[in-house]
Amino acid sequence: MKYLFSVLFLNFFVFYQTLGQAAKHVVIISIDGFRPEFYQDKSWAAPNLQLMAANGVQANGVRGVFPSVTYPSHTTIITGVMPLQHGIYYNSPFEPDGATGRWYWEENLIKTETLWDAARKAGLKTASVFWPVSAGAPIDYNIPEVWSLDKNMDRVTPVRQGAFPKGLFEEIEQNATGKLEVRDLNSDYLIADENGSRMAAYLIETYQPNLLTFHVFTVDHAAHSEGRDGEHVRKAVATADRAVGNILEAIEKAGIKESTAVIVTGDHGFVDIKQSFAPNVLLAKNGLIGKEKGDWKAKFHTSGASAFLHLKKPNDKQTIAQVKKLLAALPEDQKKLFRVVERAELDKIGADPNAVLALAPVPSITLSATTEGEILKAAKGGTHGFFPDFKEIQTGFVGYGAGFTQKNTVPLMGLEDIAPLVSRLLGVPSPTSNPSKSGALEAAVK
């Protein structure tokens, strides 16, 4: 099916098997909420991205995962497989007794091999800045994305403590950024992306890693607040572009420009929202979710705009039937706001194997986890997490530098195509035994 893989070319794997190493260094920059128009529409202030796209390889769209949210998407980029296989199903795991605020921070939660693993096995040097699900990863120089469940602890201290090797954070402060306070890495402020890029640039210039992964995040924060367009979104895109420029400059200063491939991609697009629908209100009103902790039979775990049904007792067919009956009995003006994604379709898209079914809303609708209040409310801003089968939720891809052809456009690819491509560029075994099915990048590499 089209959302599983594009069938643009059929000989992708055979093609890549015949190539040798194309780059000594690969830099993967992920811009959270990255969209193709940032590099295809000159009304966006992104000269670095637009130059790279015009002179390298660009995609008209990149199909993501379900749910199309940050952590499972980034793990697909770094593994080449879908959430069903790599085990990072959402940003935060479903917790039966209620959400604690925990996210999938630790790399040891990933069930499959990563590009970091493959690089280490090949004796290559790696570095990373703010990449999701990277805490404790086998990375030589790592500034992870992590925070504490202790509400009294600031957001910088866990990053400082989680940096590897010990003292790396302080080394960067001394040589690249200056002393960093909470506001300096806060997604409310555009300086966070500037500081992240200074960290990544320092690692490139000082250690020249063969693989560097870097997550840029303020575009996502702005788009959640304002939707797809808005003054702060445009400023955040300009700042993200400057971060990319800082990386390009660091590569040149390090003297490795001719041997470095730069990939800029993202995790999801964005959709403007107008209403919020709360399916757990329906379950609570019909006795499936009680007031007390642990008192529930079925519960929807929301992730971005979508919701995934979990059962307290696995294979509780009576409760499944009751939930489906309740959904079917909704008024037509509410039923049209989403579609039910059955388990067979979840398997095909590679979603959480523990979910019985999912609700995929139509664009402009987001789903809420609340169990109280009105089932349908007005909403504003933007979000993601939708089923990845329409243009607005697609992310982007630009490949530039060593190994990439010039002025080449890929109509459509998938996030899972990126890891095999990086493996091929570096000349190391792919972290996945499943070669890319799309072949969408066949003509993109020299």
| Per-residue model confidence (pLDDT) at position 21 | 76
CATH number at residue 21: 3.40.720.10
- Domain hosting 186: range is 12-270+389-444
Residue 100 has pLDDT above 90, yes or no: yes
Number of domains in the chain: 2
Same domain, 222 and 74: yes
Same domain, 339 and 405: no
Could you tell me how far CA 313 lies from the centroid of its own chain?
31
Summarised one tens digit per residue, pLDDT across range 287-305 is 999 998 889 999 999 999 9
Same domain, 263 and 283: no
Same domain, 185 and 287: no
Same domain, 226 and 296: no
Same domain, 358 and 302: yes
Tell me, what DSSP letter sits at residue 24?
S
Same domain, 263 and 294: no
Is 2 among the domain residues? no
Same domain, 156 and 98: yes
Answer whether 424's CB lies under 8 Å from 445's CB. yes
Is 5 among the domain residues? no
Is 220 among the domain residues? yes
- Listed in sequence order, the residues at least 6 apart from 267 whose beta carbon sits closer than 8 Å to its beta carbon are 30, 32, 33, 34, 64, 68, 69, 70, 73, 74, 77, 395, 415
Same domain, 102 and 196: yes
Cα–Cα distance measured from residue 398 to residue 410, given in angstroms and rounded to the nearest whole number? 10
Cα–Cα distance measured from residue 145 to residue 105, given in angstroms and rounded to the nearest whole number? 7
Same domain, 201 and 282: no
pTM recorded for the entire structure: 0.94
Is 4 among the domain residues? no
With cut-offs at 50, 70 and 90, classify the pLDDT of residue 446: confident
DSSP assignments along 32-54, one per residue: TT--THHHH-TTS--HHHHHHHH
Residue 231 has pLDDT above 50, yes or no: yes
CATH number at residue 312: 3.30.1360
Cα–Cα distance measured from residue 106 to residue 289, given in angstroms and rounded to the nearest whole number? 30
| Per-residue model confidence (pLDDT) at position 440 | 64
Tell me, what DSSP letter sits at residue 431?
S
Q: Which amino acid is at 213?
A: T
Residue 260: C-alpha distances to residues 21, 24, 208, 243 (Å): 11, 6, 10, 17
Is 435 among the domain residues? yes
Same domain, 95 and 209: yes
Q: Which of 323, 348, 379 is the last residue of a domain?
A: 379
Is 134 among the domain residues? yes
Residue indicated by tokens 């630009």 = 398
Is 157 among the domain residues? yes
Q: Which of 334, 354, 379 is the last residue of a domain?
A: 379
Cα–Cα distance measured from residue 358 to residue 321, given in angstroms and rounded to the nearest whole number? 14
| Neighbouring C-beta atoms of residue 95, cutoff 10 Å | 12
Same domain, 49 and 196: yes
In the chain, the percentage of residues whose pLDDT exceeds 90 is 89
Tell me, what DSSP letter sits at residue 362?
P
Summarised one tens digit per residue, pLDDT across range 39-96 is 999 999 999 999 999 999 999 999 999 999 999 999 999 999 999 999 999 999 999 9
Q: Which of 360, 379, 398 is the last residue of a domain?
A: 379
Residues in a beta bridge with 265: 30, 397
Q: What is the mean pLDDT of residues 254-272?
A: 98
Summarised one tens digit per residue, pLDDT across range 136-185 is 999 999 999 999 999 889 989 999 999 999 999 999 999 999 999 999 99
Q: What is the mean pLDDT of residues 359-377?
A: 97
Residue 436 has pLDDT above 90, yes or no: no
Tokens of 118: 């493959």
Q: Picking from 18-22, 169-173, 210-214, 276-280, which range would have the lowest pLDDT averaged per residue? A: 18-22
